[in-house]
Amino acid sequence: MGDESPLLERLRSGEPAAFEELVRSHGGEMRGVALRILMDQADADDAVQDAFLSAFRTLDSFRGRSELGTWLHRIVINVSLMKLRAKGRSKENDLGELLPVFAESGAFAHLQSGWQEAADEPAIRRELLQQVHALIDQLPENYRVPLLLRDIERLSNQEIAEELSLSVNTVRIRTHRARQALRSLLEPHIAGML
């Protein structure tokens, strides 16, 4: 974003146009993050509004060690996770049949197909990306959220562990299992494209 200090000064002085500029420049991205986590438009909109209110209230604590967008990103993640906990939607679900099965030898019981690059057509890539996002939404929340935070939002395992009150090892395991399950869900879609 470049030098944000002028915008930050305007925000701290309470200039309404600065707040509007901040919302315009970061609102869409923040809504996307909240929507990926909450999977509900109204909840995502509430989370973004709460995140901006929180950011405005704590603006004096922002020290500029990161960009404003990064700071806002973390706030919307925190607010979204709090909303999930408040709704009590976080049930421990198992991935069951979506995980690979192993033979006694330790090898896959059923060979997974090797994925080759589908055609280089942008339309196929877009369709595949849409499928990936839709299939991630099918994962149980206790696997979906760590996967989103790690692979989409790019938080470290340590940061995810702190956000979700889990051990780092649990985050690694859930992310790995979510990736395996996602691969199982993707198999039929990839096969249909090749």
Grouped pLDDT means (10 residues each) for the chain, 194 residues: 79 91 94 94 96 92 84 94 80 62 57 52 76 88 93 93 93 93 83 64
Cα gap 51→170, rounded to integer Å: 27
HSE, side-chain direction, 13 A CA sphere, residue 86: 9
Same-domain check for residues 67 and 144: no
CATH code assigned at 104: 1.10.10.10
Say how far residue 73 (Cα) sits from the centre of its chain.
10
Same-domain check for residues 125 and 49: no
Cα gap 60→66, rounded to integer Å: 14
Say how far residue 176 (Cα) sits from the centre of its chain.
15
Domain count, the chain: 2
Q: Look at residues 32, 64, 87 and tell me which one is the last residue of a structural domain.
A: 87
Q: What confidence score (pLDDT) does residue 46 get?
A: 96
DSSP alpha helix (H) spans, 14-111:
16-38, 41-57, 68-87
Q: Look at residues 40, 64, 87 and tell me which one is the last residue of a structural domain.
A: 87
Chain length of the chain: 194
Same-domain check for residues 64 and 124: no
CA angle 43, 48, 52 (to 5 degrees): 150
The boundaries of the domain holding residue 9 are 5-87
Do the Cβ atoms of 143 and 179 come closer than 8 Å?
A: no
